[in-house]
Amino acid sequence: MVVDDARKALASRLILNLNDPCVLEDVSWIHPVKYIGVWWEMITGKTQWSYTNDFPTIELGVSDYSKAKPHGKHGANNENVRRYIDFAAEHGFDAVLVEGWNEGWEDWYGKQKDFVFNISETDTVLVKEIRKGIDRTDMEKLAASIVDTLSGEHYIKAVVGIGTPIANVKDLATSFKEAQIAMEVSKVFDTEKQIIRYDNLGIARLIYQLPTTVCEMFLREVFKQGSIESLDQETLFTIQRFFENNLNVSETSRGLFVHRNTLVYRLEKIKKLTGLDLREFDDAIVFKVALMVKKYLSNNPAKY
């Protein structure tokens, strides 16, 4: 919504009109009320949300509250709520808002350990506290929810790089750098991927950090019998599918909808051009690395 006066945005019924129609036939009972709430005294610090001071940090499902001593400062207790109800009745308030305690609240208000900050117009950093022993896939699920929200609600395509978990703040810069490297590497080797973990980069991370002179020398040695440029797109596509099917000739031929002998012929052609038999594990490894090195050099990295 674009307006030349902020008051017009406030008065607009555009958002209301975009809502789904109300499913309630009778809404006559809905009306504004005046209320008071225990919540506000916890906001001001008069009382607390927390139940105990025994835990400096909370692990949900792990911290044992049965062994904790209540600190007696929680605001939403029965006695205090009854006092609010009496006050509301005496002074004409229609309702009392009561928000009680739940596990983990000791470690919430004023103790946030997650931080979000921008480092440029397009780059944002999330520093997130995770519990011990968390599965790496859980971090990817969190990243996926961020990517989906940005895409679905704000039409923003986001790429998330994840550094390795750290135990000390002094290592934060290292993890941040790893997340940056993860995104840079993905731009070269996996442009479609939106969530990239540094510890899952594999050999791509090694290639990305090699001097270009070493990469060029490696390609010359691998393809000394013929240039990689001599391989057409069909052949390169066949190689890609062959690798994806773990060097299995039968699975690859089915996936390509070609006869097994046709695939064998193509593999023999590749062997003749390059001297590498992709059916042999060692040769396949060399060829796979060579393709990745070629892709890296094609992105015009800084030469050194």
Confidence at 86, pLDDT banded by 50, 70, 90: very high
Average pLDDT rounded to a whole number, residues 120-135: 82
pLDDT score for 180:
92
pLDDT score for 110:
55
Alpha-carbon torsion 49, 54, 56, 61, what sign?
A: negative
pLDDT score for 81:
93
Q: Which two tokens stand for residue 266?
A: 């193509």
Which residue has tokens 């020398």? 217
Average pLDDT rounded to a whole number, residues 20-29: 88
Q: What is the dihedral of CA 147, 151, 155, 157, to 10 degrees?
A: 50
Runs of H (alpha helix) within the chain: 6-11, 14-18, 38-43, 78-91, 136-154, 172-189, 203-208, 212-222, 233-244, 249-256, 260-274, 281-298
Higher pLDDT, 303 or 92: 92
CA distance 62 to 13: 47
Average pLDDT rounded to a whole number, residues 148-154: 87
Contact, 197 vs 182, CB < 8 A?
A: yes
CA distance 106 to 99: 14
In this structure, the strands spanning 160-162 and 124-127 are unpaired
pLDDT score for 178:
93
Contact, 101 vs 76, CB < 8 A?
A: yes
Higher pLDDT, 217 or 303: 217
What Å distances lie between residue 266 and 230, 235, 244, 263, CA to CA?
14, 7, 16, 5
- pTM score, whole prediction: 0.56
CA distance 36 to 290: 70
pLDDT score for 109:
52
Per-chain mean pLDDT for the chain: 85
Confidence at 79, pLDDT banded by 50, 70, 90: very high
Res 59 pLDDT > 80: no
pLDDT score for 35:
92
Confidence at 106, pLDDT banded by 50, 70, 90: low
Res 84 pLDDT > 80: yes
Question: DSSP letter string over 46-107?
Answer: SSBS-SBSS-SS--TTTS-GGGPPB-S-BSS-HHHHHHHHHHHHHHT--EEE-----TTGGG
pLDDT digits (tens, 9 = 90+) for 270-284: 888 888 899 999 999
CA distance 247 to 213: 30
pLDDT digits (tens, 9 = 90+) for 162-182: 999 888 778 888 999 999 999
Confidence at 142, pLDDT banded by 50, 70, 90: confident
How would you class 256 by CB atoms within 10 Å of its CB: exposed for 0-12, middle for 13-18, buried for 19 or more? middle
pLDDT score for 195:
93
Res 256 pLDDT > 80: yes
Contact, 265 vs 176, CB < 8 A?
A: no
